[in-house]
Chain A
Amino acid sequence: MMYDNSHTRLVTWAKIVLPLLALALLSTIFLVSRRIDPSAAIPYAKVDVEKLARENAVTRPEYSGVTDTGATLSVTAAQARTQPSQDQGASADQVAAKLTAPDGHVTDLSANEGLFQPNSNRIDLTGKVAMQTSDGYRVNSDKVELQTDSSILTSPGPIHGTSPFGTLDAGYMQMVPTADGSSHDLVFKQGVKLVYQPQQ
């Protein structure tokens, strides 16, 4: 039944090629498709569950209070864990503190670690402590102790920083409320060095 006209030849070839093509397409759905691994379907959180359970950590804790001179103190951190060893203190990391004096002066502090000691009303900030006051003092220190009840800030160790009129180095720094309590005094001790570059 070989016919010589081209149409019939075309149709006979089509009858062979097209089903093969369909078969190939169908197989890609089943044979080639990715294996779906049922066990990996749900991504598990990679957190050490025992550690979390043991240390009962708090994420994004926030402490705020008013000191006896009326300055508001607010301290936030990335995560805080209670200290099993010490008496109900808590340690936190990535701590940021903000002290706002009644007269509006703001002091911002940030540190890598913080140790909350509620019974001695103190928060110790350690690890690259950076302090900045709203009137232009920018001070770096290794450790700053924050008295939460009397808004006294102490850096027992040496500090390096800049003041509005030049770079400043000192062996000890303390920020204490003034007598009337409305503002703060910055006291630098144990050797102070200021370098002022006169502007033209």
Chain B
Amino acid sequence: QSVDFGGLRADKTAPVEVTADSLNVNQESGQAVFSGNVEVTQGDMHMKAAELEVFYASDKRSEITRLHATGGVTLVSPTEAAEAEEAVYDVKAGTVVMTGNVLLTQGDNVMSGNKLNVDLSTGAGTMDGRVRTLLKPAGSK
């Protein structure tokens, strides 16, 4: 089922800011793991998670390809909010894939499913896997 994520736009070129309680970097593999109420912000897109792992481009380490957030992730935009167990934010492609009983609230509409795939540049998203939607008809109390 395709969903319009009007609010969830993030400019792929905007700087990504990651704040957390702690960061652990293994110098050998270069693996960097943020932990402790991690917040990722890019433009007006905010993502909160318990843990976040940074993946680099294989050739050069100065380029982040993916951010893998785990331990309960909430993706917040001015109009929508999405919650899931895990999320993978592909920085290069500008897409977020959330998995693990995803709950998406859009104003009054609530939708849940197993996997939510959002393209941040267009704001379009597809939810699949046992999708259940709760639409509040306009005008009802």
Residues on A lying within 8 angstroms of B by beta carbon are 101, 103, 105, 133, 135-137, 163-166, 168, 170, 178, 182-200
Beyond A135-B30, A194-B34, 8 additional pairs, beta carbon < 8 A: A136-B62, A165-B62, A184-B27, A187-B23, A189-B21, A189-B22, A190-B22, A193-B19
B binding-site residues for A, Cβ under 8 Å? 12-28, 30, 32, 34, 54, 56, 61-64, 91-92
In chain A, what residue has the closest Cβ to B22?
A: A189
Expressed in whole angstroms, the Cα–Cα distance for A187 and B33 within the complex equals 10
Residues of A within 8 A of B26 (CB): 178, 183, 185
**From B15, B23, B27, contact of A196 by CB (8 A):** B15
**Chain A residue with the shortest CB-CB distance to B38:** A192
Pair A191/B17 contact, Cβ less than 8 Å: no
Taking the closest CB of chain A, its distance from the CB of B55, in whole angstroms, is 10
How many angstroms from the CA of A187 to the CA of B30 in the assembled complex?
12
Are A197 and B15 in touch, CB under 8 angstroms?
Answer: yes
Contact B15–A185 (Cβ < 8 Å) = no
Shortest Cβ gap from A190 to chain B (Å) = 8
Residues of A within 8 A of B16 (CB): 166, 195-198
Closest to A196 in B: B16
A187 to B20, CA, bound (A): 12
- Name the residue of chain A whose CB is nearest to the CB of B28: A183
Q: In the bound complex, what is the Cα–Cα distance between A187 and B38 (angstroms)?
A: 15
Contact in complex: B27, A133 (CB < 8 Å): yes
Residues of B within 8 A of A164 (CB): 30, 56, 61-62
Given A165-B56, A165-B61, A165-B64, answer yes or no on A195-B17 (Cβ-Cβ < 8 Å). yes
Residues from chain A with a CB closer than 8 A to the CB of B13 are 198, 200
Verify B27–A105 contact, CB threshold 8 A: yes
Residues of A within 8 A of B28 (CB): 103, 105, 178, 182-183
Cα A105 to Cα B29 with chains together (Å): 11
Q: Is the CB–CB distance between A196 and B22 below 8 Å?
A: no
**Selected A-B contacts with CB under 8 Å, 9 pairs:** A101-B27, A136-B61, A183-B27, A185-B25, A190-B22, A193-B17, A193-B19, A194-B23, A198-B63
Q: Residues of B contacting A189 with CB < 8 Å?
A: 21-22
Residue B24 contacts which of A163, A185, A196 (CB distance < 8 angstroms)?
Answer: A185
The 3 closest A-B pairs by CB, nearest first: A183-B28, A186-B25, A188-B23
Residues of B within 8 A of A195 (CB): 15-17
| Cβ contact of B64, chosen from A185, A186, A192, A198, cutoff 8 A | A198
